[in-house]
Amino acid sequence: MVMRAIIFVTLTPLPFVSSLALAELDCIGLQEIWGRYDVVEVSRYRGGLTSQSEAKEHVGKSTLVSVEGFSFWGKVNYESPIYDMTCQPIPLEEGEVTVRWERKSDFYGIGMDRDVVNELEVTPVQEEGPSYHFEVAQDELWFFFDGWFYRMERVGRD
């Protein structure tokens, strides 16, 4: 299994951002996220093609994040995937608009009480499927797909 931890620092008006400054933020390590997570809430955050009934069908579905493998809602199973953790400070400058593909939950008004956005990317080793991206907030995984926000709570540690 390959594990990588990556910390991105965006350009800020500060002349220098030290690793100590990032350590003071709430950056999460891979060992802190292992476990099983169940979907406990589904809510719309923007437009999409998935109907409300289709989105709500995922309530109760489980996601497993472990050293040995990754399982997502009973549909995807990766053995020994590549996990990447990133930690990005939330821009504090008012009026700053990010490009669409860089928008995180804070852009849509979700999780505004954080200093950083912790992201987990899961990629299969042999590229037998797509990569999955989650935001990690305390003991929760957040998944955004087709206009729906799926909040998953940790129900067990691996």
Domains of the chain by residue range: 3-7+19-93+101-156
* Cβ atoms within 10 Å of 6's Cβ, excluding its own: 10
Q: Quote the CA–CA distance of 155 and 62 in Å, as a whole number.
A: 9
pLDDT at residue number 91: 63
Q: Quote the CA–CA distance of 118 and 24 in Å, as a whole number.
A: 14
Mention every residue, 6+ apart, whose C-beta is less than 8 A from residue 87.
Answer: 7, 8, 22, 25, 27, 28, 116, 117, 118, 119
Q: What is the mean pLDDT of residues 39-68?
A: 95
pLDDT at residue number 128: 77
Residue 92 confidence (pLDDT) above 90? no
Tokens 């437009």 identify what position?
47
Tell me the average pLDDT of the chain: 79
pLDDT at residue number 100: 52
Which of the two residues, 158 and 115, has the higher pLDDT score? Answer: 115
Q: Write out the H or E segment, with its range, that includes residue 23.
A: helix 19-24
pLDDT at residue number 154: 97
Is the separation of the CB atoms in 120 and 65 below 8 Å? yes
Q: What is the mean pLDDT of residues 71-81?
A: 95
pTM for this entry: 0.74
pLDDT at residue number 10: 39
